[in-house]
Chain A
Amino acid sequence: MSFGAENVTVAGRLDDVSLTCRRGMVTAICGPNGAGKSTLLAVIAGLIKPDAGRAVMGGRSLGAVSLAQRAQWLGYLPQTPEVAWDVSVEVLISLGRLPWRGAPAAETQAAIEDAIAAMDLQDLRHRPVSTLSGGERARALMARVLATQPGWILADEPFASLDLSHGAALMQRFRQQARAGKGVVLVLHDLATAMNHADQVLVLAKGRVEAEGPPEMALSRDVIGRVWNCPAHWLGEPGERALSIGAPAPLAVDLRQQF
């Protein structure tokens, strides 16, 4: 079942972008600041209506899928999640079950427990969210998405405030979900994470697709040099790559020509 965007244009932010994500794969969307990564994720989550093109789910236009159905299929973690009330971690996670109105209580509880365990929140489950650190909060919010048990997980910078071990555990969880036949789409800032853990990478710059394909290809040094304006090369073996970055190239405009 395919999922993604077909020739999507959002004025000023995306220009004719197509993306096909597949179940069983981790898809990473990378690009410099302001490239349109979050906008693209919001489009395929059905939150932004594109000016042209369409978001697709299972061959159908996303607009034709009811909100209730989408809510069960898609779990979306926004870049800057908010929690309006000082609920406990467990109550926060239980909000992820809202799309499953009328599900048996046992099933609901099992999904919540599973999400708590996956994000290592057993000790924090009764804590009010206001008392959590940034990373703990991020884990609780991710657990909320996992509790929905969606077919597709869309997460905007899910590792941004996680420490090393929790970040690694979450990545493992994403891989596990993909192996179980679910689709995972991540907006990633860190190219090494995308290189080592994604199955396919889409590189955006200024709202356009610059490269697409398996990570070794889409994140080649040529692409990184061109898109991020940075001489860089990969160290290590596939799966354990690290990025070595040189000094950024001088600005494309040669100042001497202006005088």
Chain B
Amino acid sequence: MNLRFVLLLVLALAAAVPLSLLAGRVWINPLAAETQSASVILLQLRLPRAVLALVLGAGLGAAGAAMQGYLRNPLADPGLFGIAPGAALGAVLSFWTGYASAPWMLPLFALIGAGGAMTLLALIAGRGGGVALFTLAGLMVSSLAGALMSLAISLTPSPFAMSEIVTWMMGSLADRSWREVWIATPLTLTGLGVLLYAGRDLDAMTLGEMAARTLGVEPLRLQALIILGVGLVVGAGVAVAGIIGFVGLMVPHLVRPLTDRKPSSLIVPSALAGALLLLFADCLCRILPLSGGELRLGIALSLLGAPFFLRLLLKMRRGMVA
């Protein structure tokens, strides 16, 4: 069942990618004779953007599946650990200091921020490896990074930098180039590999922390794998596209009923479905007519995500979620 589902997702992606390349403010007719501008739009604007959507979507979907498996909670989201706010703080600091205008500097700052949040998380959570403490540590890192970010924004030297920060934080794939693809792809793929490697341990966590330990799971090792895997994926995503929420929360949910519900069975389908969702949302952003620019991806996903979240909560209230 799982394999067929994965194949179906791959087919859907294979169909969606070429279609997404045609869609946008300028629609491209694949049957028309090739023009100079069409090939520039395709190769320099839309293709890197589509690849980035696939890479980030896959990373966020898989990270969400792993987080939910690790925390044994269907409401967990990769943003929960404070890695995304950490990366965002790094990015904000690059705007603040003015380094953002230099190439590579913004992503570099964001990655340093993500790394800092991961280190802090590991230090605070300590050597016990318990999940509850870890979650609280994540919340703490998250609120600390959030507060520092607000502080940095409120102290921004120029209104221009402030508007840049605010726009950037909304998350977008607009005007991204191959450079961003080269930054995000290796990090995300490494993160995905780490999360896949943690799959067996996540399966054992289904039976609770104690039973998982008797099944051979070393809590600290699993915690380190989760911090590393989620950190790489989320850090890479924020570094090139700003904060993109809800993918990690929504996708594992949509996918779970179509698998055998084991956390490890969820990672690959969530990655594929996440890629599909982000590709779709990004097309939507490009197509929707909006005066003064295009809809921001982060906003589009939050708009999609909020009703979804509400539906989930209502379902949980009726005791139907698992």
User: Which A residues fall within an 8 A CB radius of B?
Assistant: 42, 45-47, 67-68, 70-72, 74-76, 78, 81-88, 91-92, 95-96, 98-99, 101, 128, 130, 144, 148
B176 adjacent to chain A (CB < 8 Å): no
CA distance A85 to B260 in the complex (A): 10
Q: Chain B interface secondary structure, helix, strand, loop or mixed? A: loop
Contact in complex: B215, A98 (CB < 8 Å)? yes
B207 adjacent to chain A (CB < 8 Å): yes
Contact in complex: A85, B214 (CB < 8 Å)? no
Q: Which of A42, A70, A84, A85 makes the CB contact (< 8 A) with B216?
A: A70
User: Which residues of B are found within 8 Å of A128, using beta-carbon distances?
Assistant: 322
CA distance A143 to B301 in the complex (A): 43
Q: Which of A75, A85, A144 makes the CB contact (< 8 A) with B262?
A: A85
User: Which residues of A are found within 8 Å of B216, using beta-carbon distances?
Assistant: 67-68, 70-72, 98-99
B263 adjacent to chain A (CB < 8 Å): yes
Could you count the A-B residue pairs with CB atoms below 8 Å apart for me: how many are there? 78
Contact in complex: A130, B322 (CB < 8 Å)? yes
User: What's the minimum C-beta distance from B283 to chain A, rounded to whole angstroms?
Assistant: 32
A141 to chain B: closest residue by CB: B207
Contact in complex: A71, B206 (CB < 8 Å)? no
Contact in complex: A47, B214 (CB < 8 Å)? yes
B178-202, CB < 8 A from A: 200
User: Which residues of B are found within 8 Å of A70, using beta-carbon distances?
Assistant: 214, 216
Q: A67-B217, A70-B216, A98-B216 are in contact. Are A86 and B261 (CB under 8 A)?
A: yes
Contact in complex: A82, B262 (CB < 8 Å)? no
CA distance A88 to B203 in the complex (A): 13
A-B pairs, top 5 by smallest CB distance, nearest first, are A71-B216, A86-B322, A84-B72, A76-B214, A82-B208
B214 to chain A: closest residue by CB: A76
User: Which residues of B are found within 8 Å of A87, using beta-carbon distances?
Assistant: 206, 260-262
Contact in complex: A78, B72 (CB < 8 Å)? no
User: What's the minimum C-beta distance from A95 to chain B, rounded to whole angstroms?
Assistant: 6
CA distance A81 to B218 in the complex (A): 19
Contact in complex: B207, A83 (CB < 8 Å)? yes
B273 adjacent to chain A (CB < 8 Å): no
Contact in complex: A98, B204 (CB < 8 Å)? yes
CA distance A85 to B69 in the complex (A): 9
User: Which residues of B are found within 8 Å of A101, using beta-carbon distances?
Assistant: 200
Q: A67-B216, A85-B262 are in contact. Are A95 and B207 (CB under 8 A)?
A: yes
Contact in complex: B262, A74 (CB < 8 Å)? no
Q: A84-B206, A85-B206 are in contact. Are A91 and B214 (CB under 8 A)?
A: no
CA distance A128 to B213 in the complex (A): 24
Contact in complex: A67, B218 (CB < 8 Å)? yes
B210 adjacent to chain A (CB < 8 Å): yes
B250 adjacent to chain A (CB < 8 Å): no
B268 adjacent to chain A (CB < 8 Å): no
CA distance A101 to B200 in the complex (A): 9
